[in-house]
């Protein structure tokens, strides 16, 4: 922990790491809280905001946003920017990593001046020169590229050191320090975002990409370099035919690794597109025949595809580190708040109705089936992005949180019971008059605890035995799923949202689950991301858990601990409110 601002300043001078230290802001917050001097508190707050700032492709990226359109962090938090200006122009600050960041922040501010942009560029370049790269270090290569992109876009914007930064890139292309993938990323980025790049540089990039393809230097990234050659050929008025044909051949070669699988169709379609662009009628005919023959191999078995993209590994390493730090803090309440508030766990709302359709799907009629093998007339054809994100990112993220949390005794029956009782509205007493005129008092926490107890007992067994005993999660999942509607209706009544309709004949009818989620009062207090998650989990817009459980469509194989992770998150999100009696 920092004992003073000077100790923090000393840390900044020595930190040349590319990875952001997530503990710095936390340590500064502790220093601020124990500092009595108000002016010092303000300065430390500025440094917290500064540390939380991130720049990506020349622009600052807030850590998170709010429903009202505000975000954290934002430029208004720095007030008059005099302190940031003092730090950015200080002779005592030597570290180019932070010198660049202070100046970049000033350039983005309302007191922006070209000198700040120049200061940022100079220090970005100085910092990049200090970075030691090895081609096998994917994470360092990626972060090097991010700093380069920030510097390059500033150079373009103010027309300063434009050729110097291009020479810097060419020098790295000629060396073996930067890996082949990041080289292709940076060439593509510069080609797409550069303004009036001198032709000799484009020729240099073209020649480099040509040599990579001709000599098969980076076998795994031939596709990227062929795409670069196509892009640059357009700029240099060169023929594209050879590169389209080679890219088509590459897709055909890739397809042979997936013979017998329906995914082979996508490779055929990608190659077909390239041969069409090349005007290669013979190849077009050959691939069309291959597509026709491959229809006989279509089946609906699950296909497992292992993705080795370095960005995915970077994402996993980052989440692994974040969740480890979360557990090491030793605060159960913070773990549950992380599940409620983190914007990195669940997909964006707009992805729920975002479906990918391949060209092949445009050529045929499609039918959708529900889990009980009935034709689903409401189903949308294509691959749903929201579901892909849940399956590939959300569940992996939750697995890290729950497995580490349970092992560290931060997520358990007793800790979630305490959180529900102290931090949610589920523990408030609800009074209802029964048909006999008697007042009944209950709370929702006591109704949720039996299912949670069953889950945690089994999850501890599974972690010890390294198994997933599907059948032992049936009781907890069924109970939690069916109780969510009750909790949703209770919450709607508490906020004064409509929960019943009056028919023309005077009889009452409960408003449907879907309509409860669409109520304007409900939408005014519940974030859109959470409502979308509820729709995905419980309605026909997603996995329709509520319907499948209620109608016994789920078999033992459909139950798993991962469903309970999603259910627990849903209850935590809806419970994250407090009501006071007035």
* Strands in 398-553 per DSSP E: 430-433, 439-442, 500-502, 508-510
**How many Cβ atoms from other residues are within 10 Å of residue 163's Cβ?**
12
| pLDDT given for residue 510 in this prediction | 85
Q: φ and ψ at 276, to 5 degrees?
A: -65, -45
| pLDDT given for residue 364 in this prediction | 41
Rounded CA separation 235/543 (Å): 47
Q: φ and ψ at 304, to 5 degrees?
A: -105, 125
Dihedral over alpha carbons 255, 208, 19, 128 (to 10 degrees): -170
Domain ranges of the chain: 1-130, 310-574
Rounded CA separation 249/228 (Å): 16
| pLDDT given for residue 357 in this prediction | 46
Cis peptide before 73 (omega within 30 of 0): yes
State the chain's maximal CA–CA distance in angstroms.
Answer: 90
Strand, coil or helix: 21: coil
- Counting every residue written for the chain, the total comes to 582
Which residues of the chain are modeled with pLDDT < 50?
A: 300-303, 357-377, 381
Per DSSP, the residues of 193-260 read H-SS--HHHHHHHHHHHHHHHHTT-SGGGHHHHHHHHHHHHHHTT---HHHHHHHHHHHHHHHGGGTT
Q: Are 532 and 349 in contact (CB under 8 A)?
A: yes
- pLDDT digits over 231-270, tens only? 999 999 999 999 999 999 999 999 888 887 767 878 888 8
The structure tokens 């799907």 sit at 361
Through-space distance between the first and last CA atoms of the chain, rounded to whole angstroms: 43
| pLDDT given for residue 478 in this prediction | 93
Nearest to 225 by CA among 208, 242, 238: 208
| pLDDT given for residue 300 in this prediction | 46
């Amino acid at each position: 922990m920092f004992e003073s601002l000077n100790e923090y300043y000393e840390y900044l001078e020595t930190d040349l790491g590319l990875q952001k230290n997530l503990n710095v802001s936390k340590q500064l917050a502790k220093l601020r809280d124990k500092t009595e001097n108000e002016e010092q508190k303000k300065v430390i707050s500025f440094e917290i905001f500064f540390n939380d700032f991130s720049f990506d492709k020349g622009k600052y990226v807030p850590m998170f946003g709010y429903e009202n359109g505000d975000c954290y962090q934002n430029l208004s938090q720095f007030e008059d920017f005099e302190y940031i200006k003092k730090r950015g122009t200080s002779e005592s600050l030597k570290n180019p990593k932070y010198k660049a960041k202070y100046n970049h922040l000033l350039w983005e501010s309302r007191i922006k001046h070209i000198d700040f942009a120049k200061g940022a560029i100079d220090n970005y370049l100085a910092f990049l020169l200090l970075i030691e790269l090895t081609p096998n270090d994917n994470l360092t290569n990626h972060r090097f590229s991010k700093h380069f992109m920030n510097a390059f876009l500033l150079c373009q914007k103010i027309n300063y050191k434009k050729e110097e930064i291009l020479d810097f890139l060419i020098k790295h292309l000629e060396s073996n320090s930067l890996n082949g993938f990041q080289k292709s990323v940076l060439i593509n980025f510069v080609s797409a975002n550069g303004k009036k790049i001198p032709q000799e540089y484009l020729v240099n990039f073209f020649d480099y990409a040509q040599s990579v393809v001709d000599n098969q230097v980076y076998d795994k990234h031939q596709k990227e370099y062929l795409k670069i050659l196509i892009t640059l050929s357009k700029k240099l008025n060169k023929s594209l035919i050879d590169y389209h044909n080679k890219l088509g051949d590459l897709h055909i070669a890739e397809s042979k690794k997936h013979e017998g699988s329906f995914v082979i169709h996508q490779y055929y379609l990608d190659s077909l597109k390239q041969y069409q662009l090349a005007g290669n009628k013979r190849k077009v005919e050959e691939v069309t025949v291959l597509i026709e023959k491959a229809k006989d191999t279509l089946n609906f078995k699950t296909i497992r595809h292992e993705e080795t993209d370095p960005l995915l590994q970077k994402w996993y390493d980052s989440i692994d580190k974040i969740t480890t730090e979360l557990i090491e803090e030793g605060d159960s309440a913070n773990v549950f708040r992380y599940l409620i508030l983190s914007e990195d766990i669940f997909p964006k709302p707009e992805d729920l109705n975002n479906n990918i359709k391949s060209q092949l799907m445009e050529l045929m009629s499609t039918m959708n089936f529900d889990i009980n093998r009935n034709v689903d007339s409401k189903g949308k054809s294509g691959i749903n992005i929201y579901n892909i994100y849940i399956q590939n990112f959300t569940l992996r993220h939750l697995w890290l949180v729950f497995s580490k949390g349970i092992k560290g005794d931060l997520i358990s029956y007793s800790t979630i019971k305490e959180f529900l009782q102290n931090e949610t509205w589920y523990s408030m007493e609800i009074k209802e008059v029964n048909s006999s005129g008697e007042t009944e008092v209950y709370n929702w926490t006591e109704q949720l605890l039996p299912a949670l107890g069953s889950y945690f007992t089994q999850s501890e067994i599974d972690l010890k035995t390294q198994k997933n005993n599907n059948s032992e999660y049936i009781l907890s999942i069924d109970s939690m799923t069916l109780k969510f509607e009750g909790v949703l209706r209770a919450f709607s009544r508490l906020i004064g949202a409509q929960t019943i309709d009056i028919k023309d004949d005077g009889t009452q009818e409960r408003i449907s689950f879907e309509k409860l989620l669409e109520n304007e009062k409900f939408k005014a207090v519940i974030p859109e991301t959470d409502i979308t998650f509820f729709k995905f989990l419980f309605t026909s817009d997603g996995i329709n858990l509520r319907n499948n459980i209620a109608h016994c469509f789920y078999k033992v194989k459909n139950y798993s601990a991962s469903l309970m992770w999603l259910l627990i998150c849903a209850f935590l999100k809806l419970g994250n409110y407090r009501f006071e009696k007035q």
